[in-house]
Amino acid sequence: MYDYSCDWKSGFVMDPLKKQRVGYLVDLNGFGLSGALAKDIEVYTPFNETKTYAGIEDLAPATSGDETSGANKVKVVGVLESFSWGGGVGDPICISAYISSENANQVQIKQQTTLKTTVVKDLGWWIVNYDEEVKSWFEEAHPASGTPKVAGQLNAPGKTDIRLSVASEPVKVAPNIDVNVYNIYFEIVPAANQAYDLKFATSKSKKFVKGWGMKVGTLAKVE
């Protein structure tokens, strides 16, 4: 089981003194949306080295003298609260994140009508954590850079049980900051005859790859 709880408030407002896991919802497009959700959240990330994950966009680093000096900015769809996956090729990937009111409104509109499709065209995430032994941040979980986005469909164990929800009430990213965000939760299972490599790490030096999805039959490619 891969279960990553993230400090989502630190994801929005980075505290240089905190060394807690933070994660980002990098891409989300599907279930009948007119297009991918906008990357309308711009935040600092504590990870300031060259990224393995090519799916996330870097902005200019913080200027000297700033309390976040040396940190990079990124543009993302949302900030993760949690990411979990059972580890099996067919197990759902479960994500809880906080997104803007504009993006939340788009998903809420889809919720209020019958979803015509549960297909998820693009999904990307990026989680970083701190390695206490070497005193350095590392990339803990993300799709392989060769395919920085995965595709699938919303998990729907029953005809009326589609695992997609958006909070109706906003929360503030911090008591002293007047920025409201909305929680989104969804589960995605792999599409038929599709396989992806997911990268994980338990420290800066201990990295490994797990497979998600499956290719079967003549269409399958030998890796």
Model pLDDT for residues 113-160, shown as the tens digit of each residue: 777 889 999 999 999 999 999 999 999 999 998 889 999 999 998 777
Q: How confident is the model at residue 67 (pLDDT cuts 50, 70, 90)?
A: very low
Q: Chain centroid to CA 190: how far?
A: 16
Q: What is the pLDDT of residue 138?
A: 96
How far is Cα 94 from Cα 3, in angstroms, rounded to an integer?
9
Residue 61 has pLDDT above 70, yes or no: no
Q: What is the pLDDT of residues 1-21, one digit of tens each?
A: 999 999 999 999 988 788 999
Q: In the predicted model, is pLDDT for residue 168 greater than 50?
A: yes
Residue 219 or 186, more confident:
186
121: Cβ–Cβ under 8 A, 6 or more apart, which residues? 29, 30, 36, 151
Do residues 11 and 23 make contact, with C-beta atoms less than 8 angstroms apart?
yes
**CA dist 149 to 23, 71, 92, 144, 165, Å?**
15, 25, 15, 8, 21
